Amino acid sequence: QKEVEQNSGPLSVPEGAIASLNCTYSDRGSQSFFWYRQYSGKSPELIMFIYSNGDKEDGRFTAQLNKASQYVSLLIRDSQPSDSATYLCAVKEFDNFNKFYFGSGTKLNVKP
Amino acid sequence: GAVVSQHPSWVICKSGTSVKIECRSLDFQATTMFWYRQFPKQSLMLMATSNEGSKATYEQGVEKDKFLINHASLTLSTLTVTSAHPEDSSFYICSASEGQGFNEKLFFGSGTQLSVL
C-alpha cells in the first residue's frame, strides 16, 4: 500500500509568520511531488510541484524535497488569513498510469 | 495552469436514478483523467483512472457497474452514477493530467456535490 502521510492539524500560525507543512511518503519509486491547496467545499488547486532534491521557491511558497528521507515540505512565508485552507501533499508514482496519491491533508489556520 | 471544467456543480436526485457528471479539459488534451470522491473532512479517494479510447481502471472496492466511466475523446470524460442511493452522496472531483514525465501535473475540475434523497 502506497502511503502519503500528513499531520492533520490544525496548524495555527499568526499572520506574517512562516507556516511549515510536512509530508512523508512510503514508496521510494515516487517520481514527482505536489502541494495542493483546498478551500472548504472547493476542489484542490495546484500550488507547487517538485521533483529534484532541494528547494524550489515560487513567491511566498518554498517546496523542499529530501528523497533519501522520503520527506517533502511546504513553507509559506508571510502567512495571510487567505492562506487558511487544507493543504494536500500528493505523490506521483511511475507506474502504468502514473497515478497520483494524496495525503489526508493538513488544515492551516492563519490568525489575523 | 491548465483548465478543467466539470458540470454540474451540484445535483440533487431521487434514490434509484442515474446521474451523469462531465469533465472537460478546455485548453489541453488529456489522455488520462482521474475521478475522485471526497467525504466531508476526509481526503481524496481515487475511484478510477480513465484513458481515452480504452476501459477505465477502477480502484479496489469501487463498483465498475455502478460508476460508469467513459472517456470518448481527449477532452471529455464522463462519470455516471447508476441507481444512486443516499450512501453515494459525496463530492465527486475529476482531474486531468497535463504534461509528461517529471513535468506531468494534475489539474482539478470544480467538483460536483451529489445529494441523493
Average pLDDT over residues A27-47: 92
pLDDT, one tens digit per residue, over B28-82 is 888 889 999 999 888 889 999 988 888 899 999 999 999 999 988 889 999 999 9
**DSSP-derived 3-state class of residue B58:** strand
> Which helix (DSSP H) or strand (DSSP E) does residue B77 occupy?
strand B76-81
The residue of A25, A47, A100 whose CB has the most chain B CBs within 10 angstroms, and thus the best one to mutate to test that interface, is A100
Predicted confidence at residue A2, as pLDDT, reads 67
First-last CA distance in chain B = 36
Residues 8-47 in A contacting B (C-alpha not used; CB under 8 Å):
31-32, 34, 36, 41-46
Query: What would the pLDDT profile of B9-25 be if each residue is shown by its tens digit?
Result: 999 999 999 999 999 99
Lowest mean pLDDT among A16-30, A59-73, A83-97: A83-97
Q: What is the dihedral sign for C-alpha B52, B58, B59, B64?
A: positive
Bin A98: left if φ > 0, else alpha if -120 < ψ < 50, else beta.
Answer: left
Which member of B34, B91, B102 has the closest CB to residue A32? Answer: B102
Interface test with A, best of B106, B114, B115 (most A CBs within 10 A): B106
Residue A1's closest chain B neighbor by CA?
A: B60
Cα–Cα distance between B111 and B101 in angstroms, integer?
26
Closest Cα in chain B to A101: B46
Q: For chain A, what is the mean pLDDT?
A: 92
Output the pLDDT for position A97: 61
Q: Which of A43, A52, A87, A89 to mutate to test the interface with B (most CBs of B within 10 A)?
A: A43
Say what the pLDDT of residue A65 is: 96
CA distance B35 to chain A (A): 11
Whether chain B has a CB inside 8 Å of the CB on A97: the answer is: yes
> B110 vs A42: CB contact, 8 Å cut-off?
yes
Q: Is A95 on the interface with B (CB under 8 A)?
A: no
